[in-house]
Amino acid sequence: MGPQFVRTPAGEELVVLSRRAYDVLLARLGDEEAEDRLLDEMADTAQADLASGRDFLLPVWFSDRLIARHNPVRIVREHGGRTLEQAAQDAGIAVERLRRIEDGDEPAPVAVLDAVSEGAGVDPRILQRMGRNDERETGAPL
């Protein structure tokens, strides 16, 4: 809900804001209590998303290497101690194809992402999430 403008009988213009919009405004002005309310709301939302399965936390071993611009498929494969050959066999694809996927030269079907994850003993949602992000940005699967 956006702000509502109300004119009093005396001609004074008032603005009506939602509590959240008001807290955002106060927080931007440095009000610590408003900041605390917003942080509590954010934490409650994040906890609910985690508890319901709508979201999950990326492991540090993955996010650190992702920040360093490593390929997500390679990160998972190496974390699981799998060679390129082993992971390609897990996925039922040629080694060269997996190499192209890891080099970013070819998109990976979800079945390949799941097979690499399973072979490495890693939660498949990690690579599935990377695939969905790539589809939103490029219109093509990872």
Buried b or exposed e, range 83-98, using 16+ CB within 10 angstroms: eeebbbbbbebeeeeb
d(CA 35, CA 66): 30
Q: What is the DSSP string of the chain?
A: ---EEEE-TTS-EEEE--HHHHHHHHHHTT-HHHHHHHHHHHHHHHHHHHHHTS--PPPHHHHHHHHTT--HHHHHHHHTT--HHHHHHHHTS-HHHHHHHHTTSS---HHHHHHHHHHHT--THHHHHHHHHHHHHHSS--
Kindly list the structural domains of the chain, giving each domain's residue range(s) and its CATH number in brackets, ordered by start.
Answer: 4-52 (no CATH), 60-138 (1.10.260.40)
The per-residue pLDDT for range 90-140, each reduced to its tens digit, is 999 999 999 999 999 999 999 999 999 999 999 998 898 776 544 433 344
Terminal Cα-to-Cα distance of the chain (whole angstroms)? 37
The per-residue pLDDT for range 31-79, each reduced to its tens digit, is 999 999 999 999 999 999 989 988 888 899 999 999 999 999 999 999 9
d(CA 102, CA 139): 19
- Does this model's pTM top 0.75? no
Amino acid identity at 22: Y
d(CA 75, CA 64): 10
Q: What is the mean pLDDT of the chain?
A: 89
